[in-house]
Amino acid sequence: MKPDVLLTNAVFPPTQARLEKEFTCHKLYEAADRTAFVRDIAPRVRAIAPFGGAGCTAELIAALPELEIIANFGVGVDAIDLEAARKHGVIVTNTPDVLNDCVADTALALTLNVFRKFPQSEAYLRSGYWAARGPYPLTAALGGKTMGILGLGRIGEAIARRALAFGMKIRYHNRHPKEVPYPYDPDPVALAKNSDVLMIATPGGPATHGLVGAKVLDALGRQGYVVNIARGSVIDQPVLLRYLQEGRIAGAGLDVFAEEPGVPPAFFALDNAVLLPHVGSATVETRTAMGNLQVENLRRHFAGKPVLTRVV
């Protein structure tokens, strides 16, 4: 008999097709009465396969007594209640590494776009201003500038390699220094002070909540840029918005926001921000690889083998 798997939200369609072929899938997101739906399937559900950890609350985990594994589609597990998973002996897996290149590409694209204002200059051309008003104003160069990476992990290291190819210098801060050829700063304020662009690549969750606030942005200064491909929660978003509006930092490139998909409309009016709808890993190739890893973790678990990428 196929194991019963709960889908809390829709995943990448080809992955969903594989999940539905190999497992008996229950779609929570289609249920009219979610409480009744969970109550009905609770005696049978052995796994949750969420996209981005959606819906994996302590309440849901506690409501599923037969739950053995949460196989996440995504590397970030900040939306999953890991404490509840530990308490109930539930394995949690994610999809690391296979998305490093695409997320790092996105980080460099945002960096280029905030320094060079390519989206804004393209909008200038499309508005007919080039002919009417003359050349677009000069922007800032990337080469020779310092990128300070806050969170030099798997993705952070892929970002560093790309930034080096653009002629940038790298510094970093993690809680634990690593064996890497880049200078280490002891805290985020020191890193921001020593950087032209602060690249945020930490995990989300309580340990990094509001890590980048007024003190860090003050240290970055009026000529400094911030790029966030991590989680919206890592930046104090209202403070960031105010600093961008008041020109207290030079600009921001953001792939992630505090309450996605909601973005405060005040951001739309900013000329010094480049905004993306959380597309860091959003390519067919990378999403396919992420889905394959999610399915493989479930397969291995139900075959009695160790999972490939365990978090808890």
Where do contacts with ligand NAP occur on this chain (CB under 6 A)? 75-76, 96, 99, 103, 150-156, 173-176, 201-204, 207-208, 229-231, 255-256, 278, 280-281
Compute the least distance from the CB of residue 171 to ligand NAP, in Å: 13
Q: How far is the CB of 144 from ligand NAP (least distance, A)?
A: 25
Q: What angle do CA 185, 156, 112 make, to 5 degrees?
A: 100
Catalytic (active site) residue 162: no
List b or e across 17-32, with b for residues whose CB sees 16 or more CB atoms inside 10 angstroms. Answer: ebbeeebebbebeeee
User: What angle in degrees, to the nearest 10, is found between the helix axes of 100-116 and 118-126?
Assistant: 60
Minimum Å gap between C-beta 59 and ligand NAP is: 23
Let me know if 161 is a catalytic residue: no
Output the six-digit token pair for 294.
């999610």
The residue annotated as part of the active site, out of 161, 260, 285, 310, is: 260
Please identify, using beta-carbon distances, which residue of 230 and 273 lies nearer to ligand NAP: 230
Nearer to ligand NAP, 41 or 91 (CB): 91
Closest distance of CB 188 from ligand NAP, Å: 7
Catalytic residue among 278, 296, 299, 300: 278
CA triplet 196, 197, 199: central angle to 5 degrees? 150
Q: Which residue is nearest to ligand NAP (CB)?
A: 153
- Return the closest-CA partner of residue 42 out of 59, 54, 30, 29: 59
Is residue 236 classed as helix, strand or coil in its secondary structure? coil
- Which residue's CB is nearer to ligand NAP, number 151 or number 224? 151
Catalytic residue among 18, 26, 231, 301: 231
Termini Cα distance of the chain: 27
- Sorted by sequence, the CB contacts under 8 Å of residue 27 that are 6+ apart come out as 7, 10
Minimum CB distance to ligand NAP smaller for 75 or for 142: 75
Least Å distance, CB 31 to ligand NAP, is 27
**126 noted as active-site residue:** no
Judged by beta carbon, residue 3 or residue 96, the one nearer ligand NAP is 96
Distance between CA atoms of residues 190 and 73, nearest Å: 34
Give catalytic residue positions. Answer: 231, 260, 278
